[in-house]
């Protein structure tokens, strides 16, 4: 009897299998800061602009009304934006996504966060802590991060630029998100690219 049951890929599978910080083969270009400056000066590209007096989070953020070309993101990315930090700005320790779990066991919606730390990635400049671990991001590279775990950040310098976006498995996006992830996660992109792994076939032949 074939008892195979097809499951649907979700953010829970992603982070359980790959870890809470998943490096992706997706980058922004070297001139990204110039691109961001141009975008932020163009009101037709801005969906929302936040300037806050509070130091609870970045003081300045822009969200765009579409996915900019050449940013390495799939077209179904949502809430694409930049967060601008100066020295003293911080993100208070918190967890996201828990409100989508209902008492009856249903989960409404399934999305996860992509982040890209454009500059000042040394923790002595901007320190990001996820699940009590300091995360070292490669500049201009996209990462999927599990924001259900406790996370916080603090800036020790001015002019820090981060990009952020959401990818959904709900909203009819499961296929587009999953296929983009399979193309972008280094170890899922095909055995021929995975040169870091142990060559199991050779070992079994030697034994």
The residues that touch Fe ion, with contacts defined as CB under 5 A, are 96, 147
Nearer CB in complex with Fe ion: 29/94: 94
CB of 111 to Fe ion, least distance (A): 12
Contacts for 20 with CB less than 8 Å, ≥ 6 apart? 130, 131, 145, 146, 149
Give the shortest CB-153-to-Fe ion separation in angstroms: 9
Which of 29, 95 has the CB closer to Fe ion? 95
- Residue 114 CB neighbours (<10 A): 24
CA-only gyration radius of the chain, Å: 19
Least Å distance between CB 93 and Fe ion? 10
Q: Among 26, 6, 7, which residue's Cα sits nearest to residue 181?
A: 26
Alpha-carbon distance 40 to 44, whole Å?
A: 9
Beta carbon nearer to Fe ion, 31 or 92: 92
Name the burial class of residue 1, with classes exposed (0-12), middle (13-18) and buried (19+) by CB atoms within 10 angstroms of its CB. Answer: exposed
How near is the Cβ of 149 to Fe ion at its closest, in Å? 10
Nearer to Fe ion, 5 or 55 (CB): 55
Inter-CA distances, 54 with 16, 60, 88, 112, 153, Å: 35, 10, 11, 26, 15
Q: Which is nearer to Fe ion, 166 or 198 (CB)?
A: 166
Closest contact distance (angstroms) between CB of 145 and Fe ion is: 9
């Amino acid at each position: 009897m074939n008892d195979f049951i097809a499951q649907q890929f979700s953010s829970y599978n992603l982070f359980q299998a790959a870890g809470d910080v998943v490096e992706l083969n997706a980058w922004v270009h070297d001139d990204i800061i110039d691109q961001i400056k141009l975008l932020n000066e163009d009101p037709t590209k801005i969906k929302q602009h936040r300037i806050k007096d509070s130091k609870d989070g970045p003081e300045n953020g822009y969200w765009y009304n579409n996915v900019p070309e050449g940013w390495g993101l799939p077209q179904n990315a949502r809430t694409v934006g930049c967060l601008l930090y100066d020295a003293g700005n911080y993100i208070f320790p918190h967890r996201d996504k828990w409100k989508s779990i209902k008492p009856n066991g249903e989960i409404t919606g399934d999305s996860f966060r992509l982040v890209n730390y454009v500059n000042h990635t040394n923790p002595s400049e901007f320190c990001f802590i996820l699940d009590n671990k300091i995360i070292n991001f490669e500049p201009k590279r996209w990462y999927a991060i599990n924001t259900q775990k406790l996370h916080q950040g603090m800036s020790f310098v001015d002019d820090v630029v981060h990009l952020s976006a959401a990818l959904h498995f709900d909203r009819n996006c499961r296929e587009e998100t999953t296929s983009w992830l399979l193309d972008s996660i280094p170890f899922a992109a095909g055995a021929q690219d995975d040169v870091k792994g142990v060559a199991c076939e050779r070992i079994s032949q030697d034994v």
